[in-house]
Amino acid sequence: MQNTPILPPANLGILGGGQLGRMFTVAAKTMGYRVTVLDPDPNAPAAEFANRHLCAPFDDQAALDELAECAAVTTEFENVNADAMRFLARHTRVSPSGDCVAVAQNRIQEKAWIRKAGLQTAPYQAVCKPEDISDASAEFLPGILKTATLGYDGKGQIRVKTLAELQTAFAEHGGVDCVLEKMVDLRGEISVVVCRLNSENVQTFDPAENIHENGILAYSIVPARLSADVQQQAREMARRLADELDYVGVLAVEMFVVGDTHELVVNEIAPRPHNSGHHTIDACAASQFQQQVRIMCGLPPADTRLLSACCMANILGDVWGGDGSEPNWLPLQSDPHSHLHLYGKKAARKGRKMGHFVTLAQDVDTALQNAQRLHTVLKK
Ligand code: ATP
Ligand code: MG
């Protein structure tokens, strides 16, 4: 049963109906599948396109019973209830597996897995109780104290320079499990999206170079401005990690580019399509969402080839007017080389991801410049 390909018009289920669920739904519907989305938000971005929106909490048994009727189920986020995943796995095909999702939920486990795969992380120490902080912790200073679970967009992180600051930061986090990570000599950040059905069927997208503003991803450019060697190494590392986890699905691997030698260090993984892979819709032979559909259906990943240099720019709620008025869409919509994606979210809040656009160009520097220019004029 596990190996029989699932074909249209089968019904596919997804936990979570945010923008990732929305782009998954569009991809699946385009291929002729039906889609059921579970999300407690009545305005969930994916609901507009889904055949069925189960508007209920993620642990609602009646909703999970319905989702279990789907031919296969996937997820758009990692903080999904492990019991819900286990329940679904008893009734239908679930990818990625609950075990793989659990690894990504906890930075302590995640780093242990990365090292087990023979890959580097920043030097780190788990800090779960006050006694874990000792003179030996000085080795990881200056560093960042990150909560082990539930961090995103730089939330749940405190920078510390001394042991005293470390103690205060641990107390500030409320004594929850943390990871103390040594600051590395960051020269850049990249991510690789790997698509894996099994050991014979694996594809990686070209690494994306990520540019953050205020702790939130602002631009991703592809190809990354790194040597071909380093890029190849990044793809191999992502693949090795997916193999080590016997991963089934789409996995994003974030890496730091460290020092003059551009050594690659794995930061974290996301068991799903990733913000830095949104360009794949407009600039690659297949998108990361098409890959998610294919793999959950037991089909091999499609060609990941990059068809054009590009820049993805996030559109945050910040560019809406204080009175809720729309941004200045005309320049962007008039540009023949840019593609707008809006997520249909009702309220534009500061820092909220409302959409993105992808600008294509002959080379990546031009793509970045054009995207920055178009982004600047969004705000009236
Ligand atoms: P996101 O949701 O954007 O992935 P996050 O909350 O999961 O963010 P991290 O990815 O761990 O947090 O870190 C956020 C940013 O902080 C990184 O993108 C990087 O710029 C910086 N950073 C994190 N760890 C280190 C480190 N060890 N050395 C230097 N810079 C770091
Ligand atoms: Mg991160």
> Which helix or strand (DSSP H or E) is residue 268 part of?
strand 263-270
Q: Tally Cβ neighbours within 10 Å of residue 31.
A: 16
Distance 270 CA to ligand 2 centre (A): 9
Same structural domain, 252 and 283: yes
Greatest Cα pair distance in the chain = 61
pLDDT band at 1 (very low <50, low <70, confident <90, very high): very low
Q: Is 212 in the pocket of ligand 1 (CB under 6 A)?
A: yes
Residue 108 falls inside a structural domain:
no
User: DSSP assignment, residue 226?
Assistant: S
Confidence of residue 204 (pLDDT cuts 50, 70, 90): very high
> Is 54 found in the same domain as 170?
no
> Confidence class of residue 2 from pLDDT cuts 50, 70 and 90?
low
Pair 301, 360 in one domain: yes
CB 79 within 8 A of CB 250: no
Please indicate whether residue 184, judged by its CB atom, sits closer than 6 Å to ligand 1: yes
pLDDT at residue 184 greater than cutoff 80: yes
Does ligand 1 come within 6 angstroms of the Cβ of 76?
no
219 and 372 Cβ atoms separated by less than 8 Å: yes
Q: Is 324 annotated as a binding residue?
A: no
Indicate the range of 146-150, 188-192, 280-284, 375-379 predicted with least confidence. 146-150
Range of the domain at 72: 11-94
pLDDT at position 155, please?
76
pLDDT in the model for residue 156: 82
Burial (0-12, 13-18, 19+ Cβ within 10 Å), 362: exposed
Using the structure block, give the residue that is written with the tokens 């659990």: 102
pLDDT of 234 higher than 60:
yes
Looking at the CA of residue 107, tell me the nearest atom of ligand 1: 11
Q: Find out whether the beta carbon of 31 lies less than 6 Å from any atom of ligand 1.
A: no
**Predicted TM-score (pTM) of this structure:** 0.96
Q: How far apart are CA 159 and CA 178, in angstroms?
A: 13
- Rounded Cα–Cα distance for residues 99 and 329 (Å): 43
- Residue 94 has a CB neighbour count (10 Å cut-off) of 27
Q: Are residues 151 and 206 in the same domain?
A: no
Q: Whose CA is nearest to atom 7 of ligand 1?
A: 152
Count Cβ atoms below 10 Å from residue 278 Cβ, excluding itself. 29
- pLDDT tens track for 315-352: 999 999 989 899 999 999 999 999 999 999 999 999 99
pLDDT digit string, tens, across residues 102-136: 999 999 999 999 999 999 999 999 999 999 999 99
Question: What letter would DSSP give residue 13?
Answer: E
Known binding residue 263? Answer is no
Residue 153 in contact with ligand 1 by CB distance below 6 A: yes
Q: Is 110 in the pocket of ligand 1 (CB under 6 A)?
A: no
Is residue 4 scored above 50 in pLDDT?
A: yes
Given pLDDT bands bounded at 50, 70 and 90, which one contains residue 82?
confident
Query: Whose C-alpha lies nearest to ligand 1, atom 31?
Result: 183
Is 181 annotated to bind a ligand? Reply is: yes
Q: Nearest ligand, CA of residue 152?
A: 1
22 shares a domain with 155: no
Query: Domain boundary residue among 182, 205, 226?
Result: 182
Contact of 109 with 115, CB cutoff 8 Å: no
Percent over 90 (pLDDT), the chain: 94
User: Is there a contact between 96 and 73 (Cβ–Cβ < 8 Å)?
Assistant: no
Residue 84 lies in a domain: yes
Question: For residue 66, what are its two tokens?
Answer: 């319905």
Query: 213 CA to middle of ligand 1, Å?
Result: 12
Best substitution site from 157, 214, 263 to test ligand 1's pocket, by max atoms within 8 Å of Cβ?
Answer: 157
Residues 309 and 202 in one domain: yes
Strand-pairing partners, residue 209, are: 190, 221
Ligand 1 contact via 255 beta carbon (within 6 Å): no
d(CA 119, CA 107): 15
pLDDT attached to residue 38: 98
- For the CA of 270, the closest atom of ligand 1 is 4
CATH number of the domain bearing residue 292: 3.30.470.20
Report how far Cα 339 is from the mean position of its chain's Cα atoms: 20
Q: Is the CB of 276 under 6 A from ligand 1?
A: no
In a shared domain, residues 242 and 337 = yes
Overall number of domains in the chain: 3
Ligand 1 midpoint to CA 148 (Å): 13
